[in-house]
């Protein structure tokens, strides 16, 4: 049980942030994070060691999230306030502008179709490798590469469209 507590402490923030990005609701993300770890605990003997534990854990979280989404009407991701790592002091105006840009980015990611959203979250935000992402999504590595490129291009187009609509560059 102590080992499980350590696993929870080590991975819970990562699992929570993944689910929050997929769902967009903090309370539901907390519940699904707990559900993920309950399922992991109950099925711990099913981990075969063919992949990294963290990859298997994210797969369980993904399945919990998909099960939740299937039970709901389509849920769209709303902005997620991610903490920015600031290496040098910036003015308040700069920080506000950066925060608005991050929020807009997450909003646009949330507006993408499910497969694009998942691949961007796993590859670019969770920073999983191509191999790990392919294991989580059940795709070939080639498909992960292709979908990442397509998703990023779609995101660029959406972000550019948002800039043009607002008439300013962020």
Q: Spell out the domains of the chain, with CATH numbers in brackets.
A: 2-71 (1.10.1740.10), 92-166 (1.10.10.10)
Tell me how far apart the alpha carbons of residues 77 and 103 are, in angstroms, rounded to a whole number: 11
Q: Read off the pLDDT of each residue in 41-46 and give the average, rounded to a whole number.
A: 87
Q: Read off the pLDDT of each residue in 118-147 and give the average, rounded to a whole number.
A: 93
How sure is the predictor about 3, in pLDDT bands with cuts at 50, 70 and 90?
Answer: confident
Q: Report pLDDT digits (tens) over 64-102.
A: 999 998 887 544 444 444 433 434 444 555 555 666 777
Q: Name which residue leads in pLDDT, 160 or 36.
A: 36
Tell me how far apart the alpha carbons of residues 143 and 162 are, in angstroms, rounded to a whole number: 28
pLDDT averaged over every residue in the chain: 81
Question: Cα dist. 160→100, 105, 116 in Å?
Answer: 15, 11, 17
Residue 104 has pLDDT above 70, yes or no: yes
Choose the weakest-confidence range: 127-131, 143-147, 160-164. Answer: 160-164
Residue 137 has pLDDT above 70, yes or no: yes
As given in the structure block, the two tokens for residue 60 are 């369980």
């Amino acid at each position: 049980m102590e080992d499980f507590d350590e696993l929870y402490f080590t991975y819970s923030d990562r699992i929570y942030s993944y689910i929050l990005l997929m769902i967009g609701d903090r309370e539901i993300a907390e519940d699904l994070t707990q559900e993920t770890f309950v399922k992991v605990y109950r099925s711990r003997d099913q981990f075969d060691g063919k992949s990294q534990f963290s990859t298997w854990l994210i797969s369980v979280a993904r399945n919990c999230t998909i099960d939740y989404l299937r039970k709901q009407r389509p849920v769209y991701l709303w902005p997620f306030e991610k903490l920015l790592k600031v290496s040098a002091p910036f003015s308040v105006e700069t920080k506000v502008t950066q925060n608005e840009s991050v929020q807009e980015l997450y909003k646009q990611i949330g507006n993408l179709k499910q497969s694009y959203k998942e691949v961007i979250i796993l590859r670019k935000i969770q920073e999983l490798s191509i191999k790990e992402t392919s294991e989580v999504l059940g795709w070939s590595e080639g498909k992960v590469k292709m979908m990442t490129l397509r998703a990023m291009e779609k995101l660029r187009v959406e972000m550019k469209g948002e800039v043009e609509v607002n008439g300013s560059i962020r």
